[in-house]
Structure 1
Amino acid sequence: MVKLYDGGVYLVNGTEIVEDNRDAQEVLTSKTGYAVSREEAAKNTIAYRILQAHNTSGSMEKLQIKFDKLTSHDITFVGIIQTARASGLEKFPVPYVLTNCHNSLCAVGGTINEDDHMFGLTCAKKYGGVYVPPHQAVIHQFAREMLAGGGKMILGSDSHTRYGALGTMAMGEGGPELVKQLLNKTYDINMPKVVGVYLTGKPEKGVGPQDVALAIIGAVFGNGYVNNKVMEFVGPGVENLSADFRIGIDVMTTETTCLSSIWKTDDQIKEFYEIHGRSGDYEELNPGAVAYYDGMVYVDLSQVKPMIAMPFHPSNTYTIEELNANLDDILLDVEKRAKVSLGGAVDFTLRDKVRDGRMYVDQGIIAGCAGGGFENICAAADILKDAYIGADEFTLSIYPASTPIYMELAKNGRLADLIKTGAIVKTAFCGPCFGAGDTPANNAFSIRHSTRNFPNREGSKLQSGQIASVALMDARSIAATAANKGYLTAATDVDAHFTNPKYFFDSSIYAHRVFDSKGVADPSVEIKFGPNIKDWPEMPALTKHLMLKVVSEIHDPVTTTDELIPSGETSSYRSNPLGLAEFTLSRKDPAYVGLAKEVQKAEKAREANECMGDALPELRPIMHKVKEVYPDACKETVGVGSTIFAVKPGDGSAREQAASCQKVLGGWANIANSYATKRYRSNLINWGMLPFLIEEGDLPFAKGDYIFVPEIRKAIEDKATEIKAYVVKENEMKEFTLKMGELTEDERTIILKGCLINYYRG
């Protein structure tokens, strides 16, 4: 089904794979008639050419990228614009689209959410942007329909910013990276490695894009095969997939932890642009005659079976057939994983969902940027034709990804077909993906064609004794399960007739409802601020020395951004840095906020030129011990803050608040064995936090310990990669080494100044 090559490969004429071994050049010469070096062949990937066209540095080793367009939604754009305003924003220099698909439920938090929307609308007018009102489209569907273009690059403040199937290299990053683009700065990265994804064959009837995506994620996530690399989809199997099918695979590449994605394009993608009235945005993209890839994922589409990703990660994958055949063993394994993910906070089991030897499901959801596409919903309607979901616990909700899709479903009759089954069809909304809509009952099991199934993401709260769980599946198998009234069923096990209706895009709703400034700013517009929209607090520059208290210690193999700052009910506070910070680590380590605030008292005293020991008495003996070795250690030279240790933090969402909330509470560093994604590490840096690394093995410190990092400012200035530190007790200082990965000059300066806002203020 999926094979990973051990090393690099050459792709000849887009169809033949030649492994990069000692015979490679001889084989290549026999096939092409000429020799080709690895370096030259690497320039023939689609990814290389697009990055080269957008690079402003003059060096293809150290890239400085300027994007064509920017996108954000309503739990990110307020913080981004506030940061940019504080840094000197005058107008949006490139098209910037503000969608409203996350905080759409305006009853939540009183007026908070709608206040954010009015902030967005007035900013679009003032700075020259585009504003998409709530319920019109989820961020990524609007981008596909109206923004993507062949050979273009889009940066979005949502991790699933992926439009590679349409020939657009898109990246999801934390808000500060968009701030840089708004201030005419660049996105600075080393030239990423490019991994080919070679598709061959054709999916069997009933297999959908989520099945293919989960098969790939299951093969590459755990071993980091594509981590921070670009996935480039090639091979003869691509032409056997519709545009919607490709889009459904592509959006899930985020869950592999890759940097971005890009696909070869053809007449089916050309037709997609024609349907959407944008034929001029199509560009044919193919790798060169001989292209070199740093790895290759080989996927035989004909061998892919209906898949399920069990709790609590998209990579915890099985075929549905395998799950049904081994229910007890697999469910027991899920329980063992849950003990790690949930920390034993609640009793968790799925084995009580087995009824007469079959797996019973409480809820089905088809939604958002992954599941809410036209073809997915039409296929689900075909499977459910003349069926009923029943009157037991099982419920089914369907969220078309945009109003144009909803309109076409109404016109072609599929909307009526679905409603007749007992399904509820709702407006475009990302809520089910992050826990703000269709939250299951306690102990319920939900199957979803959405993007993630992290712990508690669907809305459960361990601190209140509430737990539910999500498995990811394709819309087709969700519909098959619904037709069987909640008993888990693969779509390949039902005899459905797929009608494959043609899609007709009607842009009139956007023409009449979406505000588009056409890039013209109106400085006279007054921004509307709701009472919950707050400025960022002042953040000091990095001091000569640093004293850190370890206030949380997490030993899970991976820590998600949902665990660092929960989604769902916190979304209404994304515009209020202090209010949101109260939720930091609330589902993973509820004691964190209180402990961090205690340490922050010392730093606030220091900044007020008061005695740190009076504010935090336990610090006195620690500072006395440090002074024995570093006599200059005092409030003028030693910043005091908190830090967390996590094995591998930052998997998942691009949300900057996973880092900024720690900073607001006085966090000055993270310590990790590695960082799950580039975007989380970038968020730390942009908020002035040190992304320390430490070798795997026995930790020299524990929760509650103080760590003194002498001459940290000089270490950053001198580009040190190894930094001396001490675990400080009243009677001893135990030396150990922290490491620092590569920093760009701008990143180094941002850390020294204390955060990105300070950096741009000068």
Structure 2
Amino acid sequence: MIKLYDKGVYLVNGTDIVEDGPEAEAVLKRELGGAPSKEEAARNTIAYGILEEHNTSGNMEKLKIKFDKLTSHDITFVGIIQTARASGLEKFPIPYVLTNCHNSLCAVGGTINEDDHMFGLTCAKKYGGVYVPPHQAVIHQFAREMLAGGGRMILGSDSHTRYGALGTMAMGEGGPELVKQLLSKTYDINMPEVIGIYLTGAPVPGVGPQDVALAIIGEVFGNGYVKNKVMEFVGPGVSNLSADFRIGVDVMTTETTCLSSIWRTDEKIQEFYDIHGRSEDYKELNPGAAAYYDGMVYVDLSRIRPMIAMPFHPSNTYTIEELNANLLDILDDVEKKAAVSLDGAVDYKLKDKVRNGRLYVDQGIIAGCAGGGFENICAAADILKGHSIGSDEFTLSVYPASTPIYVELAKNGRLTDLMQTGAIVKTAFCGPCFGAGDTPANNAFSIRHSTRNFPNREGSKLQNGQISSVALMDARSIAATAANKGYLTPATEVDVTYSNPKYFFDKEIYANRVFDSHGVADPDVEIKFGPNIKDWPAMCALTDNLILKVVSEIHDPVTTTDELIPSGETSSYRSNPIGLAQFTLSRKDPAYVGRAKEVQAAETAREEGKDPAEAFSELKPVIDTIHTLYPEADASNTGIGSTIFAVKPGDGSAREQAASCQKVLGGWANIANEYATKRYRSNLINWGMLPFVIEKGELPFKNGDYLFVPDVRRAVEEKATEIKAYVAGDTMKEFTLQMGELTDDERTIILKGCLINYYKG
């Protein structure tokens, strides 16, 4: 079904895979009449060509990328624009689209959600942007319909910014990276490796894009095969997939931890642009006659079967057939893994969902940028037509990804077919994907065609003893399960004729409601600030030395950004840095905020010229120990802050608040064995936090210990990759921290204390 190559490969004429090795040159000569060097062939990938066109450095090893367009939603754009305003923003230099699809219900926190929306509208007018009102479209569907274009690059502040199927290299990053683009700066990365995703064959009826995506994620997440690399989809199987199918696979590439994605394009993608009235934006993209890839994932589409990603990660995958055949064993394994992931906070059970030997599901959701596409919903309607979802616990909600899709479903009758079964069809909304919509009952089990199934992504609260969980599935198998009134069923087991209706896009829907400045800024517009919209607090520059207290220690194999700063109801506070910070690690380590604030009180006293040890008496013996080796370290040159240790933090969302909330509470650093994603590490750097790495093994410190990092400022200035540190207890115990490669700009940002300070000069 799926094979990973253990070395680089050449793709010849778009169809033939030739493994790198002694025989490769002979094969290339025979097929092409000549053998390009590996370096020449690497320049023949689609990804290389697009990156080269957008690179401003003149050096393809050290990229400085300028994007064509930017996009954000309503739990990220306020913080981004506030940061950019504090850094000198005068107008948006490139098209910037502000969508409202996360806090669009305006149901929590009084007026604060709609206040954010009015902030966004007035900023679009003042700085020359585009504003998409609530319920019109989820961020990524609007981008597909209106922004993507062949050969373009788009940067978004949502991690699922992926439009590779349409020929656009798109990346999801934390807000500060968008701020850099708004200030006409660049996105700086080393040239990424490119991994070919070779598709062959065609999916059997009942297999959808989520099935293909989950099959790939299950093979490449755990081993990091595509981590921080570009996934390039090639091979003859691409042509056997519709545009909607490709889009559904593409959006899930985020869950592999890859950097970006790109696909070869053909007449089906050209038709997509034609349907949307943007024929001029199509561009045919194919790799060169001989393209070198740093690795290859071979996928036989014909052998993919309906998949399910069990709680609590998209990589925890099984075929539905395998799950049903080994039900109790697999459920028992999921429960054991959950006990680790949930720290035993609740008594989590799944085996009690088994009824008469079958797994009963409490809820189905088809939603958002992954599930809410036209073809997914039409296929689900075909399966459900003439059935009933029943009157027991099971419920089904469907969220079309945009109003144009919703209208077409109404016109072609699929909306009626769905609602007659007992399903509820709602407006475009991302809530079910991040824990702010359709929260199930306690102990309920939800199957969703959405992007993630981390803990709390369905809205439950461990700290209140509430737990439900999500498994990811394709819309087709969700519909098959609904037709069986909640008993888990793969779509390949149902007898259905798929109607595959043609899609018609009505551009007037957006023309009548979306505000588009067409790039014209109006500096006379007054920005509307609601009472919850707050400026970032002042942050000081990096001091010569650091005293760090370890205030949280996390040993889970992976820590998600949801666990660092929760999603769901906390989204209403994304515009209030101090208010949001009170939720930091609340679902993983509720004592974190109190511990961090104690240490922060000492730093506040130091910055005010007072004795930090008087503000926090626990410091006095620590300082005394430090003085045994470093008597010159004092309040004038030694900052005091907190740090956390996590094995592999930062999987999942691009949200900058996972880092900024720690900074707001006095965090100076993270210490990790590795960082799950580039975007989380970048967020730490952009908020002036040191991204320390420590070798795997027994830690030299524990939660509650104090660490002393001498000459840390000089180490950053002198581009040191290893930094000496001490555990300051009864004695000074030395150990080593690593920092990895940093660009000159990243070092300056850390030295200045944060990106805002960097731009202030």
Match of 1:733 in 2: 732
Match of 2:241 in 1: 241
Amino acid at match of 2:624: H
Amino acid at match of 2:445: F
Amino acid at match of 1:761: K
Q: What CA distance in whole angstroms lies between the structure 1 residues aligned with 2:476 and 2:692?
A: 44
Q: What CA distance in whole angstroms lies between the structure 2 residues aligned with 1:35 and 1:75?
A: 51
Partner deviation per Cα, 1:601-627 (whole Å, 9 max, x = no partner): 000000100010111100001001111
Within-5 A mapping of 1:288-327: 288-327=288-327
1:411 shift after superposition: 0.3
Match of 2:227 in 1: 227
Q: What CA distance in whole angstroms lies between the structure 2 residues aligned with 1:181 and 1:760?
A: 13
Match of 2:540 in 1: 540
Partner deviation per Cα, 1:89-117 (whole Å, 9 max, x = no partner): 00000000000000011121100000000
Q: What CA distance in whole angstroms lies between the structure 2 residues aligned with 1:447 and 1:49?
A: 39
1:14 shift after superposition: 0.1
Partner deviation per Cα, 1:620-661 (whole Å, 9 max, x = no partner): 010011112111111101100000000000000000000000
Q: What CA distance in whole angstroms lies between the structure 2 residues aligned with 1:751 and 1:96?
A: 27
Q: What CA distance in whole angstroms lies between the structure 2 residues aligned with 1:641 and 1:336?
A: 36
Q: Which runs of 4+ in 1 moved over 4 A?
A: none
1:23 shift after superposition: 1.2
Partner deviation per Cα, 1:526-565 (whole Å, 9 max, x = no partner): 0000000000000000000000000000000000000000
Match of 1:572 in 2: 572
1:456 shift after superposition: 1.4
Match of 1:753 in 2: 752
Q: What CA distance in whole angstroms lies between the structure 1 residues aligned with 2:75 and 2:695?
A: 35
Which secondary structure does the structure 1 equivalent of 2:34 belong to? coil
Match of 2:145 in 1: 145
Q: What CA distance in whole angstroms lies between the structure 1 residues aligned with 2:732 and 2:444?
A: 50
Match of 1:618 in 2: 618
Amino acid at match of 2:688: G
Match of 2:663 in 1: 663
Q: What CA distance in whole angstroms lies between the structure 1 residues aligned with 2:722 and 2:746?
A: 17
Match of 1:443 in 2: 443
Amino acid at match of 1:630: Y
Amino acid at match of 1:513: R
Q: What CA distance in whole angstroms lies between the structure 2 residues aligned with 1:195 and 1:489?
A: 34
Within-5 A mapping of 1:128-139: 128-139=128-139
Within-5 A mapping of 1:253-402: 253-402=253-402
Partner deviation per Cα, 1:424-482 (whole Å, 9 max, x = no partner): 00000000000000011100000000000001121111110000000000000000000
1:408 shift after superposition: 0.1
CA contact (8 A) 2:432 2:457 kept: no
Q: What CA distance in whole angstroms lies between the structure 1 residues aligned with 2:127 and 2:549?
A: 42
Partner deviation per Cα, 1:508-540 (whole Å, 9 max, x = no partner): 110010000000000000000000000000000
Partner deviation per Cα, 1:6-51 (whole Å, 9 max, x = no partner): 0000000000000001111111111111121000000000000000
Q: What CA distance in whole angstroms lies between the structure 2 residues aligned with 1:527 and 1:321?
A: 55
Within-5 A mapping of 1:184-203: 184-203=184-203
Greater alpha carbon shift after TM alignment, 28-37 vs 380-389: 28-37
Q: What CA distance in whole angstroms lies between the structure 1 residues aligned with 2:496 and 2:213?
A: 22
1:378 shift after superposition: 0.1
- Please say if 1:470 is aligned against 2:470: yes
Match of 2:554 in 1: 554
RMSD: 0.4
Which secondary structure does the structure 2 equivalent of 1:482 belong to? helix
1:64 shift after superposition: 0.1
Amino acid at match of 2:355: R
Q: What CA distance in whole angstroms lies between the structure 2 residues aligned with 1:492 and 1:606?
A: 66
- Please say if 1:102 is aligned against 2:99: no
Q: What CA distance in whole angstroms lies between the structure 1 residues aligned with 2:423 and 2:305?
A: 26
Amino acid at match of 2:758: Y
Q: What CA distance in whole angstroms lies between the structure 2 residues aligned with 1:376 and 1:541?
A: 51
Match of 1:651 in 2: 651
Q: What CA distance in whole angstroms lies between the structure 1 residues aligned with 2:423 and 2:391?
A: 11
Q: What CA distance in whole angstroms lies between the structure 2 residues aligned with 1:340 and 1:172?
A: 29
Amino acid at match of 1:740: M
Which secondary structure does the structure 1 equivalent of 2:663 belong to? helix
Q: What CA distance in whole angstroms lies between the structure 2 residues aligned with 1:76 and 1:671?
A: 26
Which secondary structure does the structure 1 equivalent of 2:628 belong to? helix
Question: TM-score if structure 2 supplies the norm length?
Answer: 1.00
Structure 1 gaps of 5+ residues are: none
Which secondary structure does the structure 1 equivalent of 2:511 belong to? helix
Q: What CA distance in whole angstroms lies between the structure 2 residues aligned with 1:492 and 1:105?
A: 36
Amino acid at match of 2:359: M
CA contact (8 A) 2:10 2:17 kept: yes
1:193 shift after superposition: 0.1
Which secondary structure does the structure 2 equivalent of 1:299 belong to? strand
- Please say if 1:10 is aligned against 2:48: no
Q: What CA distance in whole angstroms lies between the structure 2 residues aligned with 1:571 and 1:737?
A: 37
Q: What CA distance in whole angstroms lies between the structure 2 residues aligned with 1:590 and 1:48?
A: 45
1:72 shift after superposition: 0.1
Q: What CA distance in whole angstroms lies between the structure 2 residues aligned with 1:632 and 1:756?
A: 30
Match of 2:416 in 1: 416
Amino acid at match of 1:737: T
Which secondary structure does the structure 2 equivalent of 1:318 belong to? strand
Q: What CA distance in whole angstroms lies between the structure 2 residues aligned with 1:568 and 1:628?
A: 48
Partner deviation per Cα, 1:575-594 (whole Å, 9 max, x = no partner): 00000000000000000000
Which secondary structure does the structure 2 equivalent of 1:541 belong to? coil
Match of 1:586 in 2: 586
Match of 1:704 in 2: 704
Amino acid at match of 1:627: H
Partner deviation per Cα, 1:215-257 (whole Å, 9 max, x = no partner): 0000000000000000000000000000000000000000000
Q: What CA distance in whole angstroms lies between the structure 2 residues aligned with 1:728 and 1:179?
A: 38
Within-5 A mapping of 1:19-58: 19-58=19-58
Q: What CA distance in whole angstroms lies between the structure 1 residues aligned with 2:506 and 2:340?
A: 48
Q: What CA distance in whole angstroms lies between the structure 2 residues aligned with 1:747 and 1:235?
A: 38
1:175 shift after superposition: 0.0
Match of 1:170 in 2: 170
Q: What CA distance in whole angstroms lies between the structure 2 residues aligned with 1:349 and 1:600?
A: 40
Q: What CA distance in whole angstroms lies between the structure 2 residues aligned with 1:174 and 1:458?
A: 23
Match of 1:206 in 2: 206
Q: What CA distance in whole angstroms lies between the structure 2 residues aligned with 1:507 and 1:439?
A: 33
Partner deviation per Cα, 1:470-515 (whole Å, 9 max, x = no partner): 0000000000000000000000000011000000000111001000
Match of 1:86 in 2: 86
Partner deviation per Cα, 1:663-689 (whole Å, 9 max, x = no partner): 000000000000000000000000000
CA contact (8 A) 2:547 2:707 kept: yes
Question: TM-score if structure 1 supplies the norm length?
Answer: 1.00
Match of 1:489 in 2: 489
Partner deviation per Cα, 1:39-78 (whole Å, 9 max, x = no partner): 0000000000000000000000000000000000000000
Match of 2:684 in 1: 684
Which secondary structure does the structure 2 equivalent of 1:513 belong to? coil
Match of 1:428 in 2: 428
Q: What CA distance in whole angstroms lies between the structure 2 residues aligned with 1:664 and 1:191?
A: 32
